[in-house]
Structure 1
Amino acid sequence: MEGKLRIAGTVAESIVDGPGFRYTVFTQGCPHHCPGCHNPQTHDFDGGTEMKLSVLFADIVKNKFVRGVTLSGGEPFCQAEPLFTLAKALKEDGRHLMAFTGYTFEQLLELPDPYVQRLIGMLDLLVDGPFILAERDIELRFRGSANQRVLDVPKSLAEGAPVWAEQYR
């Protein structure tokens, strides 16, 4: 697998970044700069380190107990092309895929980068919307503020509109 991804880091075994036992990739670079962001060190597009996709993929699949992968950040959709390449290989390997984004689902659909659409098509779940400090709620599952949604991506794409993953509403 060719290509590189700029990352802030990874967590090889997570139970807090999505359903089940997962691997989390924290991408580097974010245009949103949400006040109160949980990962402000990921904002600088020149920060972090570059990692070969083949090395990252091998690290993810070496643990047979990891069934899901979460793309977090930073803003994953700023690196849609390499993430699509990775996501496609992970999906072919039977992994559940989830991403966090500061964009809304509707905004993502309007972005001109064709790889954004392709990456969305690989996802099972999407947590969308910026973190809003005034709406922070630590009781919410997989999201930091009440404005954010946990979306069922296949249903959302079929409907052409955001569809909540009801178990996370």
Structure 2
Amino acid sequence: MFYGEIKNCDIADGVGVRVSLFVSGCRHCCKGCFNEMTWDFSYGQPFTSATVQQLLHMLDHDYINGLTILGGEPFEPENQRVLVPFLHKVREHFPDKNIWCYTGCVLESELLGESQWRCEVTDEMLSMIDVLVDGRFVLEKRNISLAFRGSDNQRIIDLKSTLSEGRTRVLELD
């Protein structure tokens, strides 16, 4: 896996101060995407054990609320297989920090239902995410007044509650 950028002290991609990892590779190719360069699976730097250590070090501060993973598309199967071991390390080292993930996939139909996005580690990855921002960016539904998302169709989902209760729990943060 490659990544395009790592942001330390990010306040735009989730509640509080966050460390954000922008993974590379996306087959959604949404019109008007703000991060089009990350569609290329080889864009940026290789994600290595040194990258993992750098991220863990960045997360190791009381003022950091958590980790955000976005891209590109974290739920590309190639990316999931690399992210799952990394997320285990984050959970092991920082059990009280939350994990947000942005995806162009729709939770119910593409991540929980049969689709090209599901693979052998999808359920495991979902189980480690606290908040999922789902849905493709739709330029015609762009709304700059929304908190933590770009278009009206995208949802901020309390994933822990959703998975435990068996019904989608959308958070209202606007």
- Secondary structure of the corresponding residue to residue 98 of structure 1: strand
Q: Runs of 4 or more off by more than 4 Å in structure 1?
A: none
- Secondary structure of the corresponding residue to residue 87 of structure 2: helix
Name the stretch that deviates more: 64-73 or 34-43.
64-73
Is 1:80 the counterpart of 2:80 in the alignment?
A: yes
Q: Which residue of structure 1 aligns with residue 47 of structure 2?
A: 51
Q: Which residue of structure 2 aligns with residue 41 of structure 1?
A: 37
Q: Which residue of structure 2 aligns with residue 140 of structure 1?
A: 146
What's the TM-score once normalised by structure 2's chain length?
Answer: 0.87
Gaps of 5+ in 1: none
Q: Which residue of structure 2 aligns with residue 102 of structure 1?
A: 104
In the alignment, the residues of structure 2 paired with residue 161 and residue 129 of structure 1 have an alpha-carbon distance, to the nearest angstrom, of 17
Percent identity over paired residues: 32
In the alignment, the residues of structure 1 paired with residue 149 and residue 162 of structure 2 have an alpha-carbon distance, to the nearest angstrom, of 18
How far off is 1:62 after superposition? 4.1
1:1-169 equivalences under 5 Å are 5-53=1-49, 54-78=52-76, 79-92=79-92, 93-94=94-95, 95-106=97-108, 107-110=110-113, 111-165=117-171, 167-168=172-173
CA RMSD of aligned residues (A): 1.6
In the alignment, the residues of structure 2 paired with residue 76 and residue 159 of structure 1 have an alpha-carbon distance, to the nearest angstrom, of 24
- Secondary structure of the corresponding residue to residue 127 of structure 1: strand
Letter in 1 for 2:145: E
What's the TM-score once normalised by structure 1's chain length?
Answer: 0.90
In the alignment, the residues of structure 1 paired with residue 103 and residue 124 of structure 2 have an alpha-carbon distance, to the nearest angstrom, of 15
Aligned length: 164
How far off is 1:12 after superposition? 0.9
1:66-125 Cα shifts (integer Å, max 9, x gaps)? 121000000011111221111122122122100000000011112431211111110110
Gaps of 5+ in 2: none
